[in-house]
Structure 1
Amino acid sequence: MEQNYKRTKRKNAGNGTPKKGGQRSRASLIKRVLLWMVLIGLIFLVVGSFLFAYYASKSPAFSEEKLKDPIPAKIYDKDDELVTTLYGGQKRELTDIDETPEHVTDAILAVEDNRFYEHGAIDFVRLGAAVLNNVTDGFGSQGASTITQQVVKRVFLTEEKTLERKAQEAYLAYRLEQEYSKDEILEMYMNKIYYSDGIYGIRTASLYYFDKELEALNLAETAYLAGLPQLPNRYNLYVDPELGTRRAHTVLNLMLHHERITEAEYNEAINTDITANLVARSEDERASNEPEDPEYASYINVVKQELQTNDKFRNMELGEALASGLSIYTNMDSGVQSQLQTMVNDRDYYYNPKFKSEHFNLASTILDTETGNLVAISGGRDYREVVMHNQALVERNVGSTMKPFLAYGPAIEHLEWRTDQTIEDEAEYQPEGFDNEIYNYDMQDHGEVTMRDALRQSLNIPAVKTFETVMEEEGENTPEEFAESVGLDYSTEEEEDLPLTFNDVLGGGDHSRFTPLQMAEAYATLGNGGTYNEAQAIRHVVTDEGETVEFEHESEKAMEDYTAYMLTDMLKGTFEPYGSADYIPMNGLNIAAKTGTTSYGDELKEEYNLPDNAAKDAWIVGYTPEYTMSLWTGFTANEEGGDTSFVGADEHITPQWFFRDIMQSISTYNGQDFERPDSVVEVNGDELSVRGSESLQTYENEQRQQRNTQRQQPEEDIDEPNQVITEEPEETTETEPATEEQPEEETTEEPTEEEAPTIEETEEPTEAPTEEETEPATEEAPTTEETEEAETDEPASEETTEEPAEEPVEEETDEAA
């Protein structure tokens, strides 16, 4: 019985009403959970408090000077000399809170912080609503910064969205409200906010956009100015009037919602044309952030772009960064920069009126060959920031300046060609896989030419054949990879898989376009022994708080040193007789260079009735061990008959005179030459070969065999005068036709850079002498022996050509001057 009773009790206990002991157990569990939650909350509160205190202790110094006015950025040159100061746009017109119309403050408060006068430094009600919205709509969907927080963020902090910055923002906002009244803080906000186009402060913006004092603004204009600071460059009426109008309507809605205007006022304002009183400004008249010293504007433009790529300043508004007291130390040579921009602006530099017109422009970049440091840069004539493209950063077809990187460079790098490697030239040639034929600049067949002569004279067909040989023997991607190693990247999202063609070798094609800055980087690689350096304007930046921010740039080995040196040695021939720039004397400088032009497509030629030898771009890129300079010249419009084109050899060489005058002016003439590496040896006189290469071994074997043959020749063969007498007449008879034709060959070897009519965007040398200039060479026909020496580049060839070459140089020098 007792046993059953106990079982019954257990059964009833399980199925019946819970006893008081169970109730106590559940209550105890809830209490424990609550206690743990409170404990965890306290832990978080304590940890958060310590973390907040730690972050707050690292806050920037609370400076009254910073609260008053922005601190402009200072720009220093390579010698740490102050060059210019960036004041960040127009002079500021400050407003006093006591004189600010009520409808202006109402509009600002409605859109930025409607409860500004009711809460403390932080609006916890708005903060809670923002947290809920961020949870439901996604992080960042709504902000909760008060006007006080915005002031301290703009004055003391950055746009970086980290817990540390938010803690510092809250702490500094609290400090600000302890020391200044609400009115004073609102006044700070109105005077410090950014309004696009280099405009700071709402009164300055009112005068700039509408030429009105604040009290004269209508309600729609007031709403526009109140809403502009959220995204100033997007809502700018000069940029997008429709988007700016929509932003003003959003502010009007908020003013109505917060009962700061009546419905009648709202309806009237919503139907007001905001652009009706907008000050008419052309692109040239718009305010900008350019420095007071316009000769430095192009360089400052690059400085600003580099500044925004640095992690320290990436998330900051550029205008705010430049108003935060930065000291920016650059690689600029201020003297060279000033000289370059002054010459670019000088319309009287060129004798031809065509190059004084508004349609003609030029851009240039000068680098330190060894380091890649940006010495100077010009973005075009009378360059002004914001309203003009920096032409030195605009991609264009580069003509024959691509030949070293897509043809001869890869051939030396991978096939180890000697500089006297022979290539069979032709009068016309059909590239593999294409229907059209290409031609040399003079439409002639030069027979078997060396790689050195083909590059020096800028022959098209040997370059294309070299390009095809490299792809056939080393893979079709080899030329493209070689070009990419020096910063000339052909891959794009749209055309990533398109293979390079002969047109790219000649600098034509839609995706064979590069900037003067990129071309300078590529050629500096050759002068630097094969090491590529990304151009760099900024060395380091010192913030207003004394922090030094270093700027790094890419540097890597792009090619073998023998490739760089052998290309350089061949490119020195550009200024020698029969070179594509042999008009331009570069006396006293060890300099290598390449010229380039690009022609028009057949459709444009027909539409504007352009001559066959008309070109739209003319380039020269060259370097010494000290400096590398790229120069693009071109026209921005097409006109009938070639009035805005380079026509004829005299016009095609336009950039070469400018290049010469700048390079000779800035160089030190210290006798420095490019150092030949141990990997390169001389062969066949002045030619070069890669040490240990198969072609060098072949050459050495041929030399040994020739010497052995000479030693083994019987003495009786040498002493037979009858043989000598009979051989001479035969040899003279055979060479008589060649002697008659030789003057014509010399004439055709002169660069004319006439473009093949069937190729679009290709370049041929433009530096051809005129008929008058080639006559001396035609009249003084060389002998048979001189002809043979000229073809093999023996020293006698220079004697044969030296006299005719000097005359056109003197004529052109006088003409350019």
Structure 2
Amino acid sequence: MTERIDHKMSKNAQRKTRRAKQKKSLFKRILLGSSLLGSAIFLILTIIVISYILDAPSLEKELLNDAQSSIIYDMNGQEVEALSGVENRKTVSISDVPELMQNAFIAVEDIRFKEHIGIDIKRIFGAVVANVTRGIGSEGASTITQQVIKNSFFSHEKKFKRKIQEQYLAILLERNYSKDEILAMYLNKIYFSEGAYGVATAAKTYFGKELNELELHEIALLAGMPQRPNYYNPFINPEEAEKRRNIVLSQMEKYGFITAEEANEAKEKSVTDSLIMETEEKKQYHQFMRQVINEIDAYAKKHQVALNLYEGGLKIYTTIDIKAQQHVESLMENGTITYPDENFQAAVVLLDSKTGAIRALTSGRNNTTIDFANIQRQPGSTIKPILDYGPAIEYLQWSTGTLINDEEYFYSTGKKVNNWDKKYRGNVTVREALSLSLNVPAVKAFKEVGAERAKTFATSIGMPANDKYLESYAIGGFTVGPTPIDIAGAYRSFADRGYYSSPYSVEKIEFPDGRVINLKPEEKKVMSEATAYMITDMLKTVVKSGTGSRGNVQGLPLAGKTGTTNLPDEWNEPLGARDSWFAGYTTNYTAAVWTGYNSTTKEQHISNEGKRIAAYLFKAVMENVHADKETANFTKPANVLEVYIEKSTGLLPSDYTPKEEIISELYIKGTEPREISKKYKQVEQPMMDGIYDKENDKIILNWNHETNETEEETNEVVFDLHVSIDEGPYQLILENTTALTYELTEPIDGAIYRYRLIAKDRNYPSNVSIPFVIEILVEKPLFQLPDPFDNNGNDGEEEGRQEDDETTDDETDEGSDETGTSLLNINL
């Protein structure tokens, strides 16, 4: 028994040993396989890296120091100008750059610049961790040396091949040049917006100073700009420029280049106080070109691509219409338009209605450095089609004839909503409310739609996506408002049948190696074609007969809207404004115009007359671009019906609806009214009688009008009286009279007078009664002269009396009245 047990135990031990050996063998095989796979991957990567290095460009000195110009093309592919960093660059040696400035750039861009070999291994690992934990692109690892390489040789796309080549060339650069030489290359190459390349040019551009004259806070401002030159441009974005400057100062303090006291003192300085306004002559179309640079900068940031506009040898295809651009620029000077003063500013944005391409743009007057085409302002009543009536049609299927009660009304906060003229008009159609730019109906429409749906509609066509859309937004009272470019883009969506794309000035960019980046934004359907058309039709009324008539161009199918923003109530300037807008479009072009001041005060604001300048600018632009150009009208969609309705009820007119009350409005098919109005009835026929009074030789007419209406309503009836003599044409002798009698003295003997009396509604003159007609024959009595040969005269008198009696007898018949006047009543 014992032997059997020992035998079993021995077998079990053997099995365990075999299993252990098998597991160990499997582990070795996995480890060996992983090692071989890793080695293979490493070998492949090594081969790829080596191939990239071998394919890298040579380190040419000319490219390190010289710029390769980029070319700008217009909408027709014709060259406009060359962008060259050399043209606006002053090259300096490192000895000309103050040590404090050198340290500022090193502190914020590459703190280990003096120690590394061209690449910073520690920074690379830090960037890898940051990109893993916070997302790709959250932190970069490029050294100053790498940036010199990038700016000199590459198109700056963040691709693996380009990064390997950049790092290789950076190491090679460090072996061939000193740190001072590399830093000088960097400081002479970097871009500072406003067309300025290099620190020396930037110092002149922003402060009008030489490098050795700059103060600490100015140095820090410049050192912070290269990361995002246009975004941190203090002329355009002073608040962000100040934040970035303060980061630089904190970094300089952190690394011991300045003391805490120096940093704090510099942070107290205003960014804008030491800025100078540029006085040198601007390049042609510089405001449009600034927009081009803004868009390329935004694209580069979004796609994590750095694009060297001035030195990259790029071909930049823009949307500019040279003729239109020249015209809008000419409008910024006194001449065609008279401006109130030199500080008065204006921005004009002209789009192609079919594509959204920016054809012309001005962003200010008198060489201002502020980009008013991209400044956010309150839009005033230009927002009403976007935020109120557009959503009401889209979501609630309102018609242009939907009635809204224009009455005393309050926001939910209790504040009163006022119309611009402080008056109320009772029930008005949506068309009338928009045409007259009434505020109460607009706020009511916004509330009926709901703030969230209104916001969804507005943001889909480019309006700011503020956290919450308040009731005051319905009439333009934004906290953060749209830019002129935003307004132009939104209005274009109505012109283009409900399609929206962001306005753009750059079609594409072509690199020297033939690669192309397409910058044209995608177009999306954001509203129904019915909504777009119905808004357009109402905006055509605005410019034809409403508040926008000053911007109308005769003979052009044009839609548009005005907008103004009020001054504070305590200023007691009810006719003045902060901002004045005009936006509108045809099937060819869309334009948005903003006017106002950079800083509005009680002493400096838009006057009542000045509010008209936006409309004058809009009209001048649209007249120019449409000259000798065929412009099609807007096409009504098949599901939009034109219906004649009764204005005061919104119902179908009856046979008795006054023509003044019948209007044409648009309805989405299936929502049109079916019921006939019962508001109006035919005016009751008046009753009239009349005689010829022989004794006094005159015709006397009397009439009355009896209805079942109230006395007040009866008083609204007036009369027209016409006369026809001997079947001649009728002539009006009394019009809109409330009299109930008429007399005619010395009528024509033997004539037949036919009188026609019509009763009509005083308020609606076309609402009339059936005429009441009578005829009166005038037969005057015969008069016998005495016989001059009758001495007594009695016989003659008696004879004359008999003739009178006989005449009377002969003339009396069944139709005669007591006076012997022929009377015939004709009731038609």
User: What SS class does the counterpart of residue 88 from structure 2 fall into?
Assistant: coil
In structure 2, do the counterparts of structure 1 residues 251 and 299 end up closer, same or farther at CA, with 3 Å as the change threshold? same
Counterpart AA for 1:487: G
Superposition deviation, residue 327 in structure 1: 1.5
1:492 equivalent among 450, 466, 481: 466
Q: Which residue of 1 aligns with 2:291?
A: 302
Counterpart AA for 1:127: I
Matches within 5 A, 1:688-727: 688-690=665-667, 692-698=669-675
> 2:576 touches 2:607 (CA, 8 Å); kept in 1?
yes
1:681 equivalent among 637, 641, 654: 641
Question: Separation in 2 of the partners of 1:76 and 1:291?
Answer: 22
Higher relative contact order, chain-length normalized (CA < 8 Å, sep 6+): 1
> 1:417 touches 1:695 (CA, 8 Å); kept in 2?
no
> 2:203 touches 2:214 (CA, 8 Å); kept in 1?
no
Q: Which residue of 2 aligns with 1:437?
A: 416
Q: Which residue of 1 aligns with 2:558?
A: 591
Q: Which residue of 1 aligns with 2:341?
A: 356
| Residue 496 of structure 2 is aligned to residue 532 of structure 1 | no
Question: Separation in 1 of the partners of 2:530 and 2:557?
Answer: 18
Q: Which residue of 2 aligns with 1:788?
A: 764
1:510 equivalent among 479, 482, 494: 479
> 2:760 touches 2:766 (CA, 8 Å); kept in 1?
no
Question: Separation in 1 of the partners of 2:401 and 2:214?
Answer: 79
Deviations 1:333-375 (A, max 9, x none): 122122213312x1455546xx2142x2222211111211111
Q: Once structures 1 and 2 are overlaid, which stretch shifts more, 626-635 or 141-150?
A: 141-150
Superposition deviation, residue 539 in structure 1: 0.8
Q: Which residue of 1 aligns with 2:114?
A: 114
Deviations 1:253-291 (A, max 9, x none): 6xxxxxxxxxxxx99x9999999xx9x996663779x99
Question: Separation in 2 of the partners of 1:60 and 1:424?
Answer: 73
Q: Which residue of 2 aligns with 1:420?
A: 401
Question: Separation in 1 of the partners of 2:388 and 2:264?
Answer: 60
Q: Which residue of 2 aligns with 1:770?
A: none
2:40 equivalent among 39, 43, 64: 43
Question: Separation in 1 of the partners of 2:607 and 2:436?
Answer: 19
Question: Separation in 2 of the partners of 1:210 and 1:438?
Answer: 47
Greater Cα radius of gyration, structure 1 or 2: 2
Higher strand fraction (1 or 2): 2
Superposition deviation, residue 82 in structure 1: 1.9
Question: Separation in 1 of the partners of 2:233 and 2:619?
Answer: 46
In structure 2, do the counterparts of structure 1 residues 127 and 659 end up closer, same or farther at CA, with 3 Å as the change threshold? closer
> 1:575 touches 1:581 (CA, 8 Å); kept in 2?
yes
Superposition deviation, residue 542 in structure 1: 0.6
Q: Once structures 1 and 2 are overlaid, which stretch shifts more, 523-532 or 204-213?
A: 204-213
Superposition deviation, residue 720 in structure 1: 10
Question: Separation in 2 of the partners of 1:217 and 1:243?
Answer: 22
Superposition deviation, residue 149 in structure 1: 4.1
> 1:227 touches 1:248 (CA, 8 Å); kept in 2?
no
1:622 equivalent among 578, 584, 588: 584
In structure 2, do the counterparts of structure 1 residues 692 and 733 end up closer, same or farther at CA, with 3 Å as the change threshold? same
In structure 2, do the counterparts of structure 1 residues 69 and 411 end up closer, same or farther at CA, with 3 Å as the change threshold? same
Question: Separation in 1 of the partners of 2:451 and 2:100?
Answer: 69
Deviations 1:532-558 (A, max 9, x none): 232121111111222111123142222
| Residue 612 of structure 2 is aligned to residue 653 of structure 1 | yes
Question: Separation in 1 of the partners of 2:483 and 2:463?
Answer: 9
In structure 2, do the counterparts of structure 1 residues 451 and 127 end up closer, same or farther at CA, with 3 Å as the change threshold? closer
Matches within 5 A, 1:297-336: 297-310=286-299, 314-317=303-306, 320-336=308-324
Superposition deviation, residue 673 in structure 1: 1.1
Higher helix fraction (1 or 2): 1
Question: Separation in 2 of the partners of 1:460 and 1:221?
Answer: 48
In structure 2, do the counterparts of structure 1 residues 509 and 211 end up closer, same or farther at CA, with 3 Å as the change threshold? closer
Counterpart AA for 2:607: F
Unmatched runs of 5 consecutive residues or more in structure 1: 15-23, 254-265, 711-716, 743-782, 792-817
User: What SS class does the counterpart of residue 71 from structure 1 fall into?
Assistant: coil
Counterpart AA for 1:365: V
Counterpart AA for 1:380: G
Superposition deviation, residue 304 in structure 1: 2.1
1:127 equivalent among 121, 132, 135: 121
> 2:393 touches 2:399 (CA, 8 Å); kept in 1?
yes
Deviations 1:42-93 (A, max 9, x none): 4344212222134446656776653331223322211112223333487333
In structure 2, do the counterparts of structure 1 residues 725 and 43 end up closer, same or farther at CA, with 3 Å as the change threshold? farther
> 1:235 touches 1:244 (CA, 8 Å); kept in 2?
no
> 1:372 touches 1:535 (CA, 8 Å); kept in 2?
yes
Q: Which residue of 2 aligns with 1:480?
A: 455
In structure 2, do the counterparts of structure 1 residues 291 and 174 end up closer, same or farther at CA, with 3 Å as the change threshold? farther
Question: Separation in 2 of the partners of 1:479 and 1:251?
Answer: 51
In structure 2, do the counterparts of structure 1 residues 210 and 246 end up closer, same or farther at CA, with 3 Å as the change threshold? farther
Counterpart AA for 2:581: W
| Residue 355 of structure 2 is aligned to residue 371 of structure 1 | yes
Counterpart AA for 2:319: N
Q: How many residues align?
A: 675
Deviations 1:214-245 (A, max 9, x none): 9x899999998998798696899995876555
User: What SS class does the counterpart of residue 396 from structure 1 fall into?
Assistant: coil
Question: Separation in 2 of the partners of 1:406 and 1:540?
Answer: 33
Q: Which residue of 1 aligns with 2:154?
A: 157
Q: What TM-score, normalized by structure 1, do the two folds share?
A: 0.66
Superposition RMSD in Å: 5.7
Unmatched runs of 5 consecutive residues or more in structure 2: 15-20, 645-661, 690-700, 708-712, 720-735, 737-758, 768-828
> 2:342 touches 2:366 (CA, 8 Å); kept in 1?
no
Q: Which residue of 2 aligns with 1:382?
A: 366
User: What SS class does the counterpart of residue 652 from structure 1 fall into?
Assistant: helix
Question: Separation in 1 of the partners of 2:706 and 2:66?
Answer: 95
2:569 equivalent among 577, 583, 605: 605
Superposition deviation, residue 623 in structure 1: 1.0
Q: What TM-score, normalized by structure 2, do the two folds share?
A: 0.66
Counterpart AA for 2:324: V
Counterpart AA for 1:631: V
**Seq. identity, %:** 29
Question: Separation in 2 of the partners of 1:73 and 1:405?
Answer: 39
In structure 2, do the counterparts of structure 1 residues 181 and 639 end up closer, same or farther at CA, with 3 Å as the change threshold? closer
Question: Separation in 2 of the partners of 1:424 and 1:222?
Answer: 59
In structure 2, do the counterparts of structure 1 residues 128 and 363 end up closer, same or farther at CA, with 3 Å as the change threshold? closer
In structure 2, do the counterparts of structure 1 residues 558 and 68 end up closer, same or farther at CA, with 3 Å as the change threshold? same
Q: Which residue of 2 aligns with 1:72?
A: 69
Q: Which residue of 1 aligns with 2:390?
A: 409
Question: Separation in 2 of the partners of 1:40 and 1:637?
Answer: 68
2:549 equivalent among 582, 585, 608: 582
In structure 2, do the counterparts of structure 1 residues 301 and 108 end up closer, same or farther at CA, with 3 Å as the change threshold? closer
In structure 2, do the counterparts of structure 1 residues 547 and 718 end up closer, same or farther at CA, with 3 Å as the change threshold? same
Superposition deviation, residue 246 in structure 1: 5.5
> 2:114 touches 2:179 (CA, 8 Å); kept in 1?
no
Superposition deviation, residue 414 in structure 1: 4.0
Q: Which residue of 1 aligns with 2:710?
A: none
Matches within 5 A, 1:2-41: 39=36
In structure 2, do the counterparts of structure 1 residues 376 and 223 end up closer, same or farther at CA, with 3 Å as the change threshold? closer
Counterpart AA for 1:293: K
User: What SS class does the counterpart of residue 402 from structure 1 fall into?
Assistant: helix
> 1:206 touches 1:213 (CA, 8 Å); kept in 2?
yes
Counterpart AA for 2:538: M
Question: Separation in 1 of the partners of 2:139 and 2:391?
Answer: 56
Q: Which residue of 1 aligns with 2:597?
A: 635
Counterpart AA for 1:658: L
> 2:576 touches 2:605 (CA, 8 Å); kept in 1?
no
Question: Separation in 1 of the partners of 2:216 and 2:541?
Answer: 68
In structure 2, do the counterparts of structure 1 residues 693 and 297 end up closer, same or farther at CA, with 3 Å as the change threshold? same
